[in-house]
Structure 1
Amino acid sequence: MSPRPIRPALAAAALAATLAACGQPPPAPPAPTVLVRTQPPTQGALPDVVTVYGAAAPASGAVQTLSLQQPARVDTILVAPGALVKAGQRLIAYSLNPQAVSAYRQAAAALKLAQDQQTHAAQLFAQQLATRDQVAQAEAGLRAAQANLAALGQQGAAAPSGGLSAPFDGVVVSIPVAAGDQTMAGAALVTVARSTGLVVTAGFDPGQAARLRVGQPATLQSLSGRPAVAGRVLRIAGALNPRTRLVDADIGAAGGGLILGDAFRAAVTVGQVAGWLAPHVAVLNDGQRDYVFQVAGGRARRVDVSLVRSAGDVDVIRGPLDPRLPLVADGAYQLDNGAQVRTAAAK
């Protein structure tokens, strides 16, 4: 029967005992190594993004406020704020103030009288019973009566009742009146914004606003869970908002589809940030500084860096990296400065 193999641990113990008996120390155990993945240091750039919050609101020039040029009574309100309306859709029904109706009727009667007077003066002149001045005065009175009636008609006094209709496809922004209200001439009755005229108005810190430019791309993410949409900066205010002390900017959605009042997170690309590109997991922080590891002679070398920009799983860093030494891309959290490593190329 063949002898049983000696276990490695027993053999090592026996060798150590033998060396100890001879007065020689046992050999030191091999230094532990850490398996990491590396990649060559590369330089590049990531978008420099400023993220702010805002809400969908009508753009300047995309809003129209409807009113009457005569005192009136609001009979019926046919829509509510936030309603989507079509061009020509009736929004409010009204009745003119009786005094406005009376003024129009008086103007119509005055025109009839002026027409009769002008006709009579022309007949008398033909019979040489009236002077040319009398005919001219009658014609001037007729023109004045015609102008007065036309002006009242343009102001909506021709019909004692009527309605206000949507001037275009859009959304009702506000209705500052209620059924039964007596309104003055020119008072706002309903405000409508174009469906394609909504923008996200967001406030930027003045330091950030200095880098804004009209036309810069943006991503609009609805906080209500709707899909993100692409957009662009359309307008940048030239003064601080007195309420927020921020600089307002309008960001339009490329395909429209914004909902009035919806809250958004807007990520505006204001430029590019250049530096060393590193995997996000490769950049560590010890509570005081950011740092990465490079590999030199089979050992980890710590390099202090500054984290400039993060975008998903890639960071832009700046620091004294050696472009000839591999950068630890994965497994850096296991390392200390000077640790012995085994390397494998990063995926």
Structure 2
Amino acid sequence: MSSALWAATQPSALVQTVAVKRQHVNQTINAFGEVRPDPQSQITRDAAYAAFVEQLDVTLGQPVHKGDPLLTLRTAPAARAKYLSAKAQVRFAQKSLARKKKLLKQRLATHADVDAAEQALATAQTALATQKALGTGDPTRVIKAPFSGIVSQLPVQPGNEVQTGTRLFQLAKRDSLQVALGIEPDEASRVKKGMSIRVIPLFAGGNGVATQVARVNAVVDPSTRLVNIVVRLSGQQAQPFLPGMRVKGVLTLASQSQLTVPRSAVLHDNHGDYVFIVHNGAAHRVNVKTGAENDGRLGVNGALKAGQQVVVKGNYELSDGMAVRSRS
């Protein structure tokens, strides 16, 4: 019996095949993290004097525009007293200077006396200007947003008494964000500042935005046991993202020409990874080593050639040399 006739009498499996391709394969690292306001773009405002929070006009996380009212402070009596005292000192110094000048004309005071009175007035005026700048001269004061952004901290409530230095709020620019992405410690040495990375919203999908690595930390984060790489997003890059959003970062380490097969073509057993190719109506096992994956295709090294037909469906039923009927 001829080999062709013998093969025709053997049971065969129906399989689906696609061609082995040679293409450029990117070696990538996937990292995951969270979007946060860029610390370099945030401002904090602390109480400049003792006061009471009379009114809050915003909530935590609220977007605001430059000039929007954020909160109203009512000056505490002790702070108000400092302003009134400084104002009284100016009036006293003004009267004292006028008196010294009058006495000088009567030859009852010296030029040194007038100079001292002028210096005392200047000191009193400086103290009053300081109080005015702090805001203690106003019974109430509305604090407004110095730029458009997001309220990222708001630790006070209406009725709270705040002392000098108490945090009132923190404001972050909407178009300036930072992402800390965690990678395995053994991969950290392969990542460098300036390396290309694509940041993609984890649940929103889409292509994300292309940017660069701004920093690679030199310590392991104790909470995640990963090394953080830092990426900054500014201007239009920041528009698809919000603080708190989970994201994936895809780092491209290198690109090389390599044979590729669909992921579904690769099987695994005790001897390692392998594929089946179809030749002369039979399936033939080829052992391979797999590499990086791009768009559902794996880079492979083995006794393969571009254009050979590799099995992607029905391969679990095959054994080496088994007759097959293929549809590509």
Tell me which interval the TM-score lies in, with the shorter structure as reference length.
Answer: 0.7 to 0.9
Distance in 2 between residues matched to 1:226 and 1:40, nearest whole Å:
30
Task: Give, in angstroms, the shift of residue 250 of structure 1.
Answer: 3.4
1:314 aligns with 2:297: yes
RMSD: 3.0
Work out the percentage of aligned pairs sharing the same amino acid.
25
Q: Structure 2: state its 5+ residue gaps.
A: none
Task: Give, in angstroms, the shift of residue 63 of structure 1.
Answer: 1.3
Q: Quickly say closer, same or farther: Cα 1:46–1:322, change in 2 above 3 A.
A: closer
The residue type paired with residue 23 of structure 2 is G
Q: Is the 8 A contact 1:107 1:149 kept in 2?
A: yes
One of 191, 198, 208 as aligned partner of 1:229: 208
Q: In the TM superposition, what whole-angstrom CA distance separates every residue of 1:229-280 from its partner, at most 9, and x where no partner exists?
A: 2242453234333433322233345252322222233333343365321233
Distance in 1 between residues matched to 2:240 and 2:310, nearest whole Å:
45
Q: Is the 8 A contact 1:222 1:228 kept in 2?
A: no
- 3-state DSSP of counterpart to 1:191: strand
* 2:286 match: 303
* 1:193 match: 172
Distance in 1 between residues matched to 2:160 and 2:313, nearest whole Å:
73
TM-score of the two chains, using structure 1 as the length reference: 0.79
* 1:133 match: 112
Q: Quickly say closer, same or farther: Cα 1:297–1:194, change in 2 above 3 A.
A: same
Q: Is the 8 A contact 2:151 2:170 kept in 1?
A: yes
Distance in 2 between residues matched to 1:69 and 1:206, nearest whole Å:
44
1:86 aligns with 2:65: yes
Distance in 1 between residues matched to 2:307 and 2:36, nearest whole Å:
53
Q: In the TM superposition, what whole-angstrom CA distance separates every residue of 1:122-152 from its partner, at most 9, and x where no partner exists?
A: 2322343211221221121112111111222
Q: Which shows bigger deviation, 81-90 or 49-58?
A: 49-58
Distance in 2 between residues matched to 1:341 and 1:306, nearest whole Å:
24
* 1:20 match: none
1:69 aligns with 2:64: no
1:337 aligns with 2:320: yes
Distance in 1 between residues matched to 2:138 and 2:272, nearest whole Å:
78
Q: In the TM superposition, what whole-angstrom CA distance separates every residue of 1:32-53 from its partner, at most 9, and x where no partner exists?
A: 3667677775543322232233
Q: Quickly say closer, same or farther: Cα 1:117–1:101, change in 2 above 3 A.
A: same
Q: Is the 8 A contact 1:66 1:190 kept in 2?
A: yes
One of 182, 191, 194 as aligned partner of 1:214: 194
Q: Quickly say closer, same or farther: Cα 1:263–1:255, change in 2 above 3 A.
A: closer
Q: Which shows bigger deviation, 113-122 or 33-42?
A: 33-42
Q: Is the 8 A contact 1:71 1:184 kept in 2?
A: yes
One of 263, 266, 272 as aligned partner of 1:283: 266
Distance in 2 between residues matched to 1:246 and 1:322, nearest whole Å:
38
Task: Give, in angstroms, the shift of residue 191 of structure 1.
Answer: 1.1
1:154 aligns with 2:133: yes
The residue type paired with residue 306 of structure 1 is K
Distance in 2 between residues matched to 1:40 and 1:311, nearest whole Å:
16
Q: Quickly say closer, same or farther: Cα 1:161–1:331, change in 2 above 3 A.
A: closer
- Which structure has the bigger radius of gyration? 1
One of 89, 101, 111 as aligned partner of 1:122: 101
Q: Number of matched residues?
A: 317
The residue type paired with residue 216 of structure 1 is S
* 1:241 match: 221
Q: Is the 8 A contact 2:53 2:74 kept in 1?
A: yes
Q: Quickly say closer, same or farther: Cα 1:273–1:81, change in 2 above 3 A.
A: farther
Q: In the TM superposition, what whole-angstrom CA distance separates every residue of 1:128-177 from its partner, at most 9, and x where no partner exists?
A: 32112212211211121111112222222221211211111111112111
Distance in 2 between residues matched to 1:215 and 1:115, nearest whole Å:
66
Q: Is the 8 A contact 2:21 2:306 kept in 1?
A: no
Distance in 2 between residues matched to 1:124 and 1:215, nearest whole Å:
78
* 2:308 match: 326
* 2:184 match: 205
1:267 aligns with 2:239: no
- 3-state DSSP of counterpart to 2:175: helix
